[in-house]
Amino acid sequence: MSILLENISIIPMTGSADFLEKGYIIIEGQSIKEVGSGLAPVGNHELIIDGTNRAVLPGFINAHTHAAMTFLRSYADDMPLMEWLETKVWPLEDKLTGEDVYWGTMLAITEMIKSGTTCFADMYFFMDEAAQACEKSGIRAVLSRGMVGVGPSADLALSESRELVGKWHRGANNRITMMLGPHAPYTCPPDYLRKVIDLAAELGMALHIHVAETAGEREDMIKTYGKSPVKHLESCGLFERAVLAAHCVHVDEDDIAILKKYQVGVAHNPESNMKLASGIAPVPAMLAAGIPVALGTDGASSNNNLDMLAELRTAAFLHKVNTMDPTVLPAYQALEMATRNGAIALGLKQETGQLKAGMKADMIIMNLEAPHMIPRYDIVANIVYSGQASDVETVIIDGRVIMQDREIIAFDEAEVLEQAKRCAAGLVSR
């Protein structure tokens, strides 16, 4: 399909000076054919979108979440992480079925699309059903089956991961990428991590893992292995593969140097870390070191939403007040974390995260006419500090219009909401 966006402000995320006040984008098939300033050249297009008083930018990339945990939203709140997991989350998760995960993931995707997310990284279980939801909805996704090395399902997780890679890697018209998902160093002993690493090497997969989320985790790792979580994972050889490390809250200068050495992608989840009182990740130091720090929402049970606009604003404000420096994490850098850095961290930098010729056509169009977006002295600052999910009007993924004028056209939103209500009611009654 040929699509023309015209008369539109363009934030390509190729550099802070590359903003175009008025320009055009031509989409051919799955990819961006041309990005230009001024009037578009004459051509035949199946769809023309007038971007007057609108801005287009790359879709947000949610670099870490557990999509089907939408069914645990507000189920257990105001608790410390391990108590929250052990007494509430894990017992309810044991009752989930594949159907639950399908509709929970569809609910998450609906929420993400309506707030401008075009790609997400997910770690959970029943990932075949999660992949089916991604295929159905049209979203781009990086999926990993959560793997716990202590318990009866350890070997099953390995075999299921192998099967999922064979079935879904580069599936759904290349929109689905698979990773392997060892849950965390405290749930995956070294011998199990070695099995995961060997499987990753055999299959050519990257890894998605929780790292140094709490002070207690760091203390336990030092007590058990004599090393911080990051140093422990290095000694296990994990970083010999490409790694997406979620959280990295309790890391020191030596840990940051290791993350930089191996170019580990870090998924910063500020709202989840704040809600669970896990701490504040040293994001400015990691960014200064050249680490590709992306943004994630974590699951809806610890956030409690999947709104990346809210997440990037929280990130900017949190690190300003934490460092007592208002110049830390300025608006463009926060937006970069939610777009370009996300693509780098997920291994998709050649495909998405920027608007330029040859990249996949993953983009969102935002309305600049709402009262909170006026005046428009600085559109990037307006989006980061004032923007709301309701400002996202149109979502295009892989060259396909998924939502237009706030209406999802790729699937039936009403059906998703009704099925989600039904499954959630059944889950808590089991």
Number of domains in the chain: 2
The answer to whether residue 244 is domain-embedded is: yes
In the numeric block, the tokens 């911080």 are attached to: 228
Nearest CA to 328 out of 316, 313, 337, 336 is that of 316
> 121 and 258 in one domain?
yes
Q: How much is the pLDDT for 151?
A: 87
Q: How much is the pLDDT for 429?
A: 87
Q: How much is the pLDDT for 282?
A: 98
Where residue 8 falls (left for φ over 0; alpha for ψ -120 to 50; beta otherwise) is: beta
Whether the Cβ atoms of residue 337 and residue 295 lie closer than 8 Å to each other? yes
The answer to whether residue 428 is domain-embedded is: no
Q: How much is the pLDDT for 225?
A: 97
Distances (CA, A) of 100 to 291, 315, 426: 36, 31, 9
Whether the Cβ atoms of residue 106 and residue 139 lie closer than 8 Å to each other? no
> 311 and 188 in one domain?
yes
- Amino acid symbol at 107: L
> 37 and 99 in one domain?
no
The answer to whether residue 417 is domain-embedded is: no
In the numeric block, the tokens 């998605």 are attached to: 208
Domain extent at residue 105 = 60-345
Q: pLDDT means per 10 residues in the chain (430 residues)?
A: 97 98 98 97 96 98 98 91 89 95 98 98 97 98 97 95 98 98 97 98 98 97 98 98 98 98 98 96 98 98 96 98 98 98 98 98 98 97 98 98 98 98 92
**Three-class SS state of 85:** helix
The answer to whether residue 232 is domain-embedded is: yes
CATH number of the domain to which 131 belongs: 3.20.20.140
> 121 and 24 in one domain?
no
> 71 and 36 in one domain?
no
* Distance of alpha carbon 33 from the chain centroid: 26
Q: Which residues, at least 6 apart from 43, have a Cβ–Cβ distance to it below 8 Å? A: 2, 4, 26
- Beta partners for residue 144, in sequence order: 123, 179
Handedness of CA 387, 393, 396, 402 (dihedral sign): positive
> 130 and 144 in one domain?
yes
Dig out the tokens for 68 from the structure: 């089907």
> 323 and 369 in one domain?
no
Whether the Cβ atoms of residue 100 and residue 125 lie closer than 8 Å to each other? no
Helix residue ranges per DSSP H, 141-297: 154-168, 171-174, 190-203, 215-225, 229-235, 253-261, 270-275, 283-288
Dig out the tokens for 251 from the structure: 């890391």
> 138 and 14 in one domain?
no
Question: pTM score, two decimals?
Answer: 0.97
Please say which residue of 320, 345, 370 terminates a domain: 345
Whether the Cβ atoms of residue 59 and residue 395 lie closer than 8 Å to each other? yes
The answer to whether residue 316 is domain-embedded is: yes
The answer to whether residue 225 is domain-embedded is: yes
Dig out the tokens for 341 from the structure: 């850095």
Whether the Cβ atoms of residue 55 and residue 8 lie closer than 8 Å to each other? yes
Dig out the tokens for 21 from the structure: 């006040």
Handedness of CA 74, 78, 80, 86 (dihedral sign): negative
Q: How much is the pLDDT for 220?
A: 97
> 314 and 205 in one domain?
yes
CATH number of the domain to which 15 belongs: 2.30.40.10
> 270 and 388 in one domain?
no
> 198 and 312 in one domain?
yes
Which helix (H) or strand (E) segment holds residue 83: the answer is helix 81-84
- Largest Cα separation within the chain, whole Å, is 68
The answer to whether residue 85 is domain-embedded is: yes
Nearest CA to 363 out of 17, 125, 64, 51 is that of 51
> 276 and 145 in one domain?
yes
